[in-house]
């Protein structure tokens, strides 16, 4: 039976739309998911189409946006690519990789996307919704929109906002960010641009990120309700808890919250950075301060340097060379510096990058084979297909411990025989997951394909202890609080704050 025939039987979905990108849709969905879970419901997050290079791999090896994975954690369920059936991963120059139900199926230009992918995209969204309801008949979908629902040049090709809302007849919440200013115009303008049947779906308005005394907005609340005839169901105060930004551009404003830092970490802000949620566990370490490095400089003020993942490894390695950062990193390694690369960062630390099929950012023949930074004797060749899988392994260095994480990468990395004089050791029992070497004068250079490596508490603690020892700081002996427990605590705090200021009663009928 088609889903359309069963819509009257399902629990009314809740959809969170925003007056703009960055209004707070992702966090609002995360909070509502945990609130409903605590109330005994079976919430499941859903976002028909997401554009992000911050990804997660589910237990079937399917790629999905990390924000939907985080929302699944808030529901206390395993993330699944069905919760984010379309993922677009930007590659630069208005080109994106297209992922349907966790699998890469091609690339597209922005200009051709809706011409080539609109119909199959809508079909995969409906297929995912049908599958979710067949497997979870008592669930309530908590749906996240994308950007603004009334981008008039795009609305006839909308896949993930009002089309989904109308298809499911969802109760919709409109979220607006008062921190950005112009909140009244944002709300009224968004509603005025909707068709009458679309506006009827908006059942509540949330004012997000309000600073100061909430009572100061009483008159504003009355004005909005009188003007729109839609209740303001929540005024959410400014919250300090740190969540991963969905867009790498948001990293520009991301600041470390460490109050008493003993260790300073520099993360290279690559133009095509991916999976920056890898560093959330470090953000939550009280003794660590993080800075993002965007240009050539003396790196000796940092206790360790991280090269993150990249969606365009060749492009980003060319950026490092042209900007002078490659030389800075090599100089840093000669001065007892500690360096760790993750995925694309691992590949760039090697000697050679070869891109015969133009998969990782090379634009011409001269860029198909380039030199890496040259600190690890590794060479990488990029092939047509990429590897996506969950990882369960054991580490050998810097300690023996169970390791969980996931891989998302193109390219096979092997030892470079020409550079065999550079002594290198495996980090894990699965020797192709990562390598490290110790510098003659102190410090280590390491690289791994495992995303989420810092979520492994014992491994993270022992790596940090290596750095602390090199600085003559006392070793951390007490058992560190699990990062995953911290993440649950952050979600709980988020849900508690939303629950205090949000009236969802009318949405649960």
Architecture of domain 255-483: 3-Layer(aba) Sandwich (3.40)
Query: Residue 200, preceding bond cis, omega within 30 degrees?
Result: no
Residue 89, helix vs strand vs coil: strand
> What span, in angstroms and rounded, lies between the C-alpha atoms of 346 and 126?
38
Q: Exposure string (b/e) for 24-55, b if CB count within 10 Å is 16 or more?
A: bbbbbbbbbbbbbbeeebbbbbbbbbbbbbbb
Strand intervals (E) in 145-229:
171-177, 202-210
Q: Exposure string (b/e) for 118-155, b if CB count within 10 Å is 16 or more?
A: eeebbebbbebbbebbeeeeebbbbbbbbbbbbeeeeb
% of the chain surpassing 90 pLDDT? 81
- Cα 95 to Cα 86, 92, 113, 159: the distances in Å are 15, 6, 9, 18
What element of type H or E holds 68?
helix 66-75
Cβ-contact 70, 93 below 8 angstroms: no
What element of type H or E holds 27?
helix 25-38
Find the angle CA(102)-CA(75)-CA(13) to the nearest 5 degrees.
80
> What span, in angstroms and rounded, lies between the C-alpha atoms of 338 and 350?
15
Architecture of domain 3-242: 3-Layer(aba) Sandwich (3.40)
- pLDDT band for position 507 (cuts 50, 70, 90): confident
Mean pLDDT, all residues of the chain: 92
Q: What is the mean pLDDT of residues 189-200?
A: 96
> What span, in angstroms and rounded, lies between the C-alpha atoms of 32 and 20?
19
pLDDT digits (tens, 9 = 90+) for 149-191: 999 888 888 899 999 999 999 999 999 999 988 999 999 999 9
Query: 219 or 252, which is more confident?
Result: 219
Determine the pLDDT at residue 64: 98
Tell me the domain boundaries of the chain. Answer: 3-242, 255-483
Phi, psi (degrees; rounded to nearest 5) at 468:
-60, -40
- pLDDT band for position 481 (cuts 50, 70, 90): confident
Catalytic-role residue among 139, 451, 499, 501: 451
Predicted TM-score (pTM) of the model is: 0.93
Q: At what angle do helices 66-75 and 25-38 cross, to 10 degrees?
A: 20
Count the Cβ atoms, other than its own, within 10 Å of residue 63: 23
pLDDT digits (tens, 9 = 90+) for 259-301: 678 999 999 999 999 999 999 999 888 899 999 999 999 999 9
Q: Do strands 273-274 and 309-310 pair parallel, antiparallel, or not at all (unpaired)?
A: antiparallel
Decide if pLDDT at 256 tops 60.
no
Give all strands of the β-sheet with 103-109 in edge-to-edge order.
Answer: 49-51, 86-92, 95-100, 103-109
Catalytic-role residue among 33, 343, 499, 501: 343
> What span, in angstroms and rounded, lies between the C-alpha atoms of 30 and 28?
5
Q: Does 501 qualify as catalytic in the annotation?
A: no
Q: Is the fold of 3-242 the same as that of 255-483?
A: yes
Decide if pLDDT at 419 tops 70.
no
What element of type H or E holds 234?
strand 232-237
Q: What is the mean pLDDT of residues 446-469?
A: 96
Q: What is the mean pLDDT of residues 481-509?
A: 91
Residues 6 or more apart whose CB falls under 8 angstroms from that of 299 comprise 266, 293, 305, 328, 329, 331, 332, 337
pLDDT digits (tens, 9 = 90+) for 34-54: 999 999 999 999 999 999 999
> What span, in angstroms and rounded, lies between the C-alpha atoms of 358 and 366?
11
Q: Does 156 qualify as catalytic in the annotation?
A: no
- Cα 162 to Cα 267, 316, 447: the distances in Å are 38, 37, 44
Maximum average pLDDT range among 3-7, 158-162, 324-328, 415-419: 324-328
pLDDT digits (tens, 9 = 90+) for 228-255: 999 999 999 998 655 656 554 454 445 5
């Amino acid at each position: 039976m088609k889903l359309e025939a069963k819509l009257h039987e399902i629990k009314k979905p809740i959809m969170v739309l925003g007056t703009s990108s960055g209004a707070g849709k992702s966090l609002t969905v995360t909070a509502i998911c945990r609130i409903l879970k605590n109330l005994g419901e079976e919430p499941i997050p859903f976002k028909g189409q997401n554009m992000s290079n911050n990804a997660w791999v589910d237990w079937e090896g399917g790629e999905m946006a990390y924000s939907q994975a985080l929302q699944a954690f808030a529901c206390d369920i395993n993330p699944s690519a069905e919760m984010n059936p379309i993922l677009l991963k930007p590659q630069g120059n208005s080109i994106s990789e297209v992922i349907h139900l966790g699998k890469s199926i091609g690339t597209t230009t922005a200009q051709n996307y809706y011409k080539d992918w609109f119909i199959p995209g809508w079909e995969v969204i409906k297929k995912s919704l049908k599958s979710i309801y067949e497997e979870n008949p008592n669930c309530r979908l908590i749906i996240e929109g994308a950007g603004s629902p009334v981008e008039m040049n795009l609305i006839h090709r909308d896949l993930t906002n009002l089309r989904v809302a109308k298809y499911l007849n969802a109760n919709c919440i409109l979220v607006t960010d008062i921190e950005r200013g112009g909140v009244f115009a944002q709300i009224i303008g968004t509603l005025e641009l909707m068709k009458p049947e679309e506006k009827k779906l908006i059942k509540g308005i949330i004012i997000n990120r309000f600073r100061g005394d909430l009572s100061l907005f009483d008159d504003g609340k009355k004005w909005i309700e009188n003007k729109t005839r839609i209740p303001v169901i929540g005024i959410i105060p400014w919250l300090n808890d740190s969540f991963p930004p969905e867009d790498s551009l948001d990293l520009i404003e991301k600041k470390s919250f460490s109050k008493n830092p003993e260790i300073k970490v520099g993360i290279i802000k690559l133009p095509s950075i991916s999976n920056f949620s890898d560093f959330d566990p470090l953000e939550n370490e009280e003794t660590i301060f993080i800075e993002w490095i965007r240009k050539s400089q003396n790196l000796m003020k940092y206790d360790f340097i991280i090269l993150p993942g990249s969606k365009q490894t060749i492009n980003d390695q060319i950026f490092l060379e042209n900007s002078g950062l490659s030389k800075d990193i090599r100089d840093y390694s000669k001065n007892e510096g500690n360096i760790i690369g993750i995925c694309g960062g691992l590949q760039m630390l090697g000697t050679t990058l070869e891109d015969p099929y133009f998969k990782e950012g090379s634009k011409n023949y001269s860029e198909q084979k380039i030199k890496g930074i040259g600190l690890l004797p590794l060479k990488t060749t990029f092939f047509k297909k990429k590897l996506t899988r969950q990882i369960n392994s054991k580490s050998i260095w810097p300690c023996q411990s169970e390791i969980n994480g996931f891989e998302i990468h193109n390219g096979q990395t092997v030892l470079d025989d020409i550079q065999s004089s550079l002594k290198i050791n495996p980090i894990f029992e699965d020797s192709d997951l990562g390598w490290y070497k110790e510098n003659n004068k102190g410090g280590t250079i390491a690289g791994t394909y495992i995303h989420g490596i810092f979520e492994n508490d014992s491994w993270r603690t022992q790596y940090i202890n290596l750095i602390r020892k090199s600085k003559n700081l006392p070793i951390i002996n007490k058992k560190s609080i699990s990062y995953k427990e911290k993440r649950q605590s952050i979600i709980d705090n988020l849900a508690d704050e939303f629950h205090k200021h949000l009236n969802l009663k009318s949405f649960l009928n």
